[in-house]
Amino acid sequence: MIKGKKILLGVTGSIAAYKAVLVVRLLIKAGAEVKIIMTKGANDFVTPLTFSTLSKNKVSVDLFEEGTWANHVELGRWADVFLIAPATANTLAKMAHGICDNLLQATYLSAACPIIIAPAMDEEMWHHQATQQNIDCLRDRSHQIIPVNNGELASGIFGEGRMAEPEDIVQYLHFFFENKNTLTGKNVLITAGPTYENIDPVRFIGNHSTGKMGIAIAEEMWARGAEVTLVLGPSQEKVNAKINTIRITSAEEMYQTCMNHFDQNDYIIMAAAVADYTPATKEKQKIKKSEDSMHLDLVKTKDILMEAGRKKTPQQILVGFALETENENQFAKEKMKKKNTDFMVLNSLNDSGAGFGHATNKITIFEKDGQVHEFPLKSKKEVAVDIINLITSNENI
């Protein structure tokens, strides 16, 4: 899939620049055409000669070279994708703020192609609010961020911030080209996050769901060309601004919104942690403290997935999630049958690194026909890819 693709690689001033050499080698081996832009900082780590020898193309560094102007517009138009690897904290900041003080930045600002970024820096820099805000900003522009690794950093400290390995970056590009536009024309409805059930004006019943998993699925579906409607409960997570996100609070609001959008969707993926019960009455005024104990009268919420299972046509693919703490496989299979889903994605809270709040997840997917697919612990983005690859491989739709 990489064969014949035109890849523009931006290399910035990080020790990880040496890994970019291997990225070029692997891309060339896979049949890509590669052109490289380096920042002056990158020159301190690797020489342009290394890159030009491997890519068989001239490497550009300056906006003005030997008295002539380097045509950054042309480079941006030439590329099928602009990969920036490694991207330092400094480059991320400049990209986020539109600063144009070198050839790489000028090319970024004029590029018409998709942008993929592989950040690299020390852990503190990676976790700094400024860097994270810049990353959010770049994500909002629909740029793809290749997750950083956990491992030994240039400082000698172990932590997050290491650039993804060259093989993984090339694999990422491979998936990018393979999956691009494969879901064009498809409509997808996704639920994510918790729901909050009001008790009175200041209190609610909720759960620890962050919405990360459902958002990752929504973003991956969107990246593959689908028209995505995300029905999102109260969540602090950022969502790509190009996704049609409908923010709701309660289970009832999520139910109504899903039912209003149900018919026009090809895939319905219910990743939300919906409250099963809601207070029978929502007090208008704050409940005052009085007795030593109190009782809340709760009533069942509508089961959105169950209703979706009743309504769905044979052409619609319905995916449910099951979060379990015991008898996981049995409960997940029973849920799939009861709610008439085509797939059931099981998370077990017994697996470390899986479930609410983690950046990672470990899932097992059950299919209606009895097949079971187990996956190792992965980032939620990679888990989203696994789920989507499986549910879209069904040929009925």
Instruction: Candidates 188, 322, 346, 365: give the one binding ligand CTP (CB under 6 A).
Output: 322
Query: Least separation, in Å, of the C-beta of 195 and ligand CTP?
Result: 8
Burial class of residue 97 in the structure, from the number of CB atoms within 10 Å of its CB (0-12 exposed, 13-18 middle, 19+ buried): exposed
Q: Which of 198, 207, 340, 389 is catalytic?
A: 207
SS (HEC) of 82-97: EEEEEECHHHHHHHHH
By CB under 6 A, tell whether 212 contacts ligand CTP: no
The footprint of ligand CTP on this chain (CB under 6 A) covers a number of residues equal to: 15
By CB under 6 A, tell whether 387 contacts ligand CTP: no
- Cβ–Cβ under 8 Å, residues 331 and 324: yes
Q: Which is nearer to ligand CTP, 301 or 316 (CB)?
A: 301
Query: Least separation, in Å, of the C-beta of 345 and ligand CTP?
Result: 8
By CB under 6 A, tell whether 215 contacts ligand CTP: no
46: amino acid identity, one letter: V
- d(C-alpha 351, C-alpha 325), whole Å: 9
Burial class of residue 160 in the structure, from the number of CB atoms within 10 Å of its CB (0-12 exposed, 13-18 middle, 19+ buried): middle
**First-to-last C-alpha distance (Å) of the chain:** 24
By CB under 6 A, tell whether 252 contacts ligand CTP: no
Q: Which is nearer to ligand CTP, 121 or 305 (CB)?
A: 305
By CB under 6 A, tell whether 251 contacts ligand CTP: yes
- d(C-alpha 106, C-alpha 72), whole Å: 6
Instruction: Candidates 10, 147, 211, 320: give the one binding ligand CTP (CB under 6 A).
Output: 320
Cα angle 90, 93, 95; round to 5: 110
Helices in 235-303 by DSSP H: which ranges?
251-261
Active site residue 207: yes
Instruction: Candidates 36, 106, 323, 365: give the one binding ligand CTP (CB under 6 A).
Output: 323
Q: Can you give the length of the chain in residues?
A: 397
By CB under 6 A, tell whether 81 contacts ligand CTP: no
Instruction: Candidates 121, 305, 317, 346: give the one binding ligand CTP (CB under 6 A).
Output: 305
By CB under 6 A, tell whether 250 contacts ligand CTP: no
Q: Which residues from 172-201 bind ligand CTP, rule CB under 6 A?
A: 191
The contacts of residue 297 (CB under 8 Å, 6+ apart) are 279, 280, 281
Residues near ligand CTP (CB under 6 A): 191, 251, 270, 272, 274, 276, 301, 303-305, 320-323, 335
Which positions are annotated as active-site residues? Answer: 207
